[in-house]
């Protein structure tokens, strides 16, 4: 499941869930849908030191069926899932997105894995704080701190 083909920092040109090739022109619009599995592309995936780093590129999609697909793909490997959600590209998050992150966290924890959030915009952090979720999630300031905490 975890191929090394996507370890570079180049724009990922495949679906982060099923690895099907994607057309890249509209990748950042938040409206790209994988024609194979139906996943709406809201993040790109990188593997760093055995941890899956999800770079959120859109805060619009986090519906239950999608979270189920995403979490399945993350916990599919033989190792316990170690997942970092990098939110640096999101300036705000919706309550639906927050609900999606909670669902993702639950599923990863159920598989004995860990999810760490990092690189949050102050407004995003405030949103989580206001919802009293900044203690529910593991949060690190930087991606490096997140990687260190998972190693």
Distance, in Å, from the CA atom of 87 to the CA atom of 33, rounded to the nearest integer, reads 20
Q: Positive or negative, the Cα torsion across 56, 37, 3, 72?
A: positive
Distance, in Å, from the CA atom of 116 to the CA atom of 11, rounded to the nearest integer, reads 22
Site size for Zn ion, by CB under 5 A?
Answer: 8
Does residue number 37 form part of the binding site for Zn ion (CB under 5 A)?
Answer: yes
Does residue number 39 form part of the binding site for Zn ion (CB under 5 A)?
Answer: yes
Of 19 and 119, CB closest to Zn ion: 19
Among positions 34, 41, 116, 147, the unique one binding Zn ion when judged by CB under 5 A: 34
Task: Estimate to the nearest angstrom the gap between the alpha carbon of 70 and the chain centroid.
Answer: 8
| First-residue to last-residue Cα distance in the chain | 20
Residue range at the interface with Zn ion (CB under 5 A); choices 4-12, 28-36, 43-51, 52-60: 28-36
Q: In the bound complex, what is the minimum distance in angstroms from residue 41's beta carbon to Zn ion?
A: 8
Does residue number 17 form part of the binding site for Zn ion (CB under 5 A)?
Answer: yes
Among positions 12, 14, 15, 81, the unique one binding Zn ion when judged by CB under 5 A: 15
Distance, in Å, from the CA atom of 93 to the CA atom of 90, rounded to the nearest integer, reads 7
Residues at the site binding Zn ion, with contacts judged by CB under 5 A: 15, 17-18, 20, 34, 36-37, 39
């Amino acid at each position: 499941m975890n191929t090394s083909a996507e370890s570079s920092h180049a724009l990922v040109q495949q679906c982060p869930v099923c690895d099907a090739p994607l057309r890249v022109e509209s990748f950042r619009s938040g409206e790209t849908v994988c024609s194979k599995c139906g996943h709406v592309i809201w993040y790109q995936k990188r593997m760093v030191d055995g941890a899956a780093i999800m770079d959120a590129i859109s805060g619009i999609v986090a519906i239950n069926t999608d979270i189920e697909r995403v979490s399945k793909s993350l916990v599919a490997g033989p190792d316990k899932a170690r997942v970092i959600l990098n939110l640096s590209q999101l300036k705000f998050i919706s309550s639906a997105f927050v609900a999606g992150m909670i669902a993702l966290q639950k599923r990863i924890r159920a598989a004995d894995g860990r999810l760490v959030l990092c690189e949050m915009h102050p407004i995003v952090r405030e949103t989580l704080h206001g919802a009293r979720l900044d203690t529910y999630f593991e949060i690190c300031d930087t991606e490096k701190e997140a990687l260190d905490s998972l190693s």
